[in-house]
Amino acid sequence: MKKYLILTYGCQMNENDSQRLGGLLQKIGYEETTVMEDADAILLNTCCVRESAELKIYGKIGEIKGLKRDKPSLIVGVCGCMAQKNQKALFKRAPHIDFVVGPNNLHDVPNIIAQIGEERKHILATDDGINTESDHVPTVRKQGMTAWVPIMYGCNNFCTYCIVPYVRGRERSRTIAEICTEIEDLALEGCREVTLLGQNVNSYGKGTDEGDFADLLRAVNEIKGIERIRYMTSHPRDMSQRVIEAVRDCEKVCDHFHLPVQAGSDVLLKRMNRGYTTEYYRDLVRRIREANPNATLTTDLIVGFPGETDELFEETLAFVKEMRYDAAYTFLYSKRSGTPAAEMDEQVDIKVKKARLQKLMDMQNENSLELNQAYVGRTVEVMVEGPSKSDEQTWTGRTTGNKIILWPYVGTEKVGDLVNVRVDVAQTWLLKGTLQERG
C-alpha cells in the first residue's frame, strides 16, 4: 500500500484541512506514515501569515528535493495558503514540486495525484471560487475526545497586516444542518468537545438564511453526547449581544471569550483597519462580564505595528492593564508582503519592538498570576485530557474557561471525563490541584 505524509504549518484551520486531506488520501488507498523516507506522497499544508513561516517551509521543500532525487516516483505537493499566494512561482523556485493546490481546492487532490501518476507534469489548482464539495470529504481525526469543526471559510475583514483574505477568499458559511450532522457523527464516535472554527465566527451566517452564530451555538448545544463547545476566532467588531446571551444561556458553551484587541490605541486600531475603537471594545467587555461574570477573557496583541510611538505603546499598556486579561498572546509585528501595512511608513526598529514586547509580557504575566491566584481554594470542573507530557502520574485538563490544571493521577479518571478538581496552587500559566469526589 502506498504511504503519505502531511506536514502542517499554521493555524487550527490548517490542522483541520490536513485531517481532511488525510481522509481523501486514505479513500484512494494511501496509508499514513510519519517517516519521510517511507512516503510515496509528501504534502506540505502551508501557512503564509508571516514571512518567517514561508522561509521555514522553503527549507523543508529543499530538504525533500534530495528524497525525490533518490526516489523519482515520490509525489510532492504544496497546499494551503502559501500555495494560493505564490502559485506558479513555487514551481520556478522548486521544480521538483509536482502540484500546488490552494485551500479552496483541497478536494481536488485525489484527482490531481491520479493525473500526476499518468502524465508527470506540474499541476496548479488555485481557483478563487468556492467549491462546496470541500464540505463533504472524509476526515482523519487525531484529537480523540475533541474535534475541530469548520463552520465557515474565508474572511472579509482586510486588516492591514493580514494576508488571510487574499489567500482564503471571501466569507462563506456552511449550513447549520450540515454542521450539526457532522457534530452528531462525532458524538457517536466518542467526541466530547468540539471547537467551531472560522477566521471570524461572529460573521457566521451573514448573507444567508441560516441564522447567525448565536443560532448555531444554540443548535449545537442541543446535540447529545457533546459536553463542551468552544469556538475561534472572534472579531470584536462583530460580537453581538445575541452571542453574549447564547454563551450565558447554553450550558455546554464554554465561558471563555477570546477577543483579539491587537492594540489599545485608537490611532493604531485605525491604521490596522480593525473597525472598532477602544471605547467600543471596552463597552463590549463590560456587557460580556455583566452577562457572564465567571467568564475568562483572553486576547491577541501586536507590538511594534508601523507608526507605534512610545506614547501609543503606553496607551496599549494602560488598556491591557485595565482589561485584566486572563492571558494574552503577544506578537512582534513583522512585514507580510502583499499587505498594506508592509508598505506603511514609520516601521519600528526591531530592538524597540523587543523591548516593548518584554515590557508588555511582564505586565500581563503579573495580571495572569493575580487572576489565577483567585482560584486557589475553589473547586472547578475539568475535562480530563490525560497524562501530562512530562509525567504519566500527573494528569491534565482544562476548565470551561480554558485554564490548564494539573493533578496527581488517582486512577478513576478517564480521558473525556468531567471531574472536579480543587485548586491548591496557582502559577502564571496553569493551576495545580487535587481530584475531588463528585457529589
Domain map (residue ranges) of the chain? 3-125, 132-373, 379-436
Contacts of 186 (CB under 8 A, 6+ apart): 141, 147, 149, 194, 226
Q: By percentage, how much of the chain surpasses pLDDT 70? A: 96
Q: What is the 3-state secondary structure (H, E, C) of 14-48?
A: HHHHHHHHHHHHHHCCCEECCCHHHCCEEEEEECC
**Residue pair 179/216 in contact by the 8 Å Cβ criterion:** yes
Instruction: Return d(Cα 250, Cα 214) in angstroms, integer.
Output: 10
**Residue 138 pLDDT grade (very low, low, confident, very high; cuts 50, 70, 90):** low
The predicted pLDDT at position 121 comes to 85
Enter the DSSP assignment of 260: -
Taking residues 337-341, report their average pLDDT: 92
Alpha-carbon distances, residue 308 vs 156, 277, 348, 361, 426 (angstroms): 25, 16, 7, 17, 34
- CB 11: neighbour CB atoms within 10 A? 17
Taking residues 388-412, report their average pLDDT: 95
The predicted pLDDT at position 143 comes to 61
The predicted pLDDT at position 119 comes to 72
Q: Is pLDDT of 141 > 80?
A: no
Instruction: Return d(Cα 266, Cα 288) in angstroms, integer.
Output: 21
The predicted pLDDT at position 133 comes to 44
Of the chain, the end-to-end C-alpha distance in Å amounts to 51
Q: Which CATH superfamily is domain 379-436 in?
A: Nucleic acid-binding proteins (2.40.50.140)
Q: Give me the CATH code for the 132-373 domain, please.
A: 3.80.30.20
Taking residues 96-123, report their average pLDDT: 89
Instruction: Return d(Cα 159, Cα 309) in angstroms, integer.
Output: 20
CA atoms within 13 A on the CB side of 77: 38
**Residue 137 pLDDT grade (very low, low, confident, very high; cuts 50, 70, 90):** low
Q: Is pLDDT of 268 > 80?
A: yes
* Mean pLDDT, the chain, integer: 93
Higher pLDDT, 120 or 267: 267
Hey, what's the cell of 213?
452564530
Higher pLDDT, 371 or 117: 371
Which tens digit of pLDDT belongs to each residue from 273-298?
999 999 999 999 999 999 999 999 99
Instruction: Return d(Cα 272, Cα 266) in angstroms, integer.
Output: 10
With cell 497524562, the residue in question is: 387
Q: Is pLDDT of 124 > 50?
A: yes
**Residue 144 pLDDT grade (very low, low, confident, very high; cuts 50, 70, 90):** confident
Which tens digit of pLDDT belongs to each residue from 65-95?
999 999 999 999 999 999 999 999 999 999 9
Give the residue among 77, 66, 7 at the shortest CA–CA distance from 35.
7
By CB atoms closer than 10 A (0-12, 13-18, 19+), residue 344 is middle
Which tens digit of pLDDT belongs to each residue from 27-49?
999 999 999 999 999 999 998 88
pTM exceeds cut of 0.95: no
Taking residues 103-115, report their average pLDDT: 91
**Residue 134 pLDDT grade (very low, low, confident, very high; cuts 50, 70, 90):** very low
Which tens digit of pLDDT belongs to each residue from 184-234?
999 999 999 999 999 999 999 988 888 999 999 999 999 999 999 999 999
The predicted pLDDT at position 50 comes to 80
Q: Out of 3.30.200.20, 3.40.50.300, 3.40.50.12160, 1.10.940.10, select the CATH number for domain 3-125.
A: 3.40.50.12160
